């Protein structure tokens, strides 16, 4: 069982990771769009 402190860090990392993956996904999508235009 994670302590509250560990859980806070985990959720924070998860949030950051999700944000980063969305930005990465958007970059990939833009590159695809540029190839087709």
DSSP per-residue letters across 1-37: ---HHHHHHHHHHHHHHHHHHHHHHHHHHHHHHHHH-
How far is it, in rounded angstroms, from Cα 30 to Cα 3? 40
What does the pLDDT average to over 3-32?
91
Q: How many CB atoms within 10 Å of residue 17?
A: 10
What does the pLDDT average to over 24-30?
91
Please check the confidence at residue 13 and state whether its pLDDT lies above 80: yes
Whether pTM exceeds 0.75: no
At residue 30, the pLDDT reads 87
Phi, psi of 4 (to 5 degrees): -60, -40
């Amino acid at each position: 069982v994670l302590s509250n402190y560990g859980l806070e860090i985990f959720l924070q990392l998860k949030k950051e990771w999700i944000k980063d993956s969305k930005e990465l996904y958007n970059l990939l999508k833009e590159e695809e769009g540029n190839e087709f235009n």
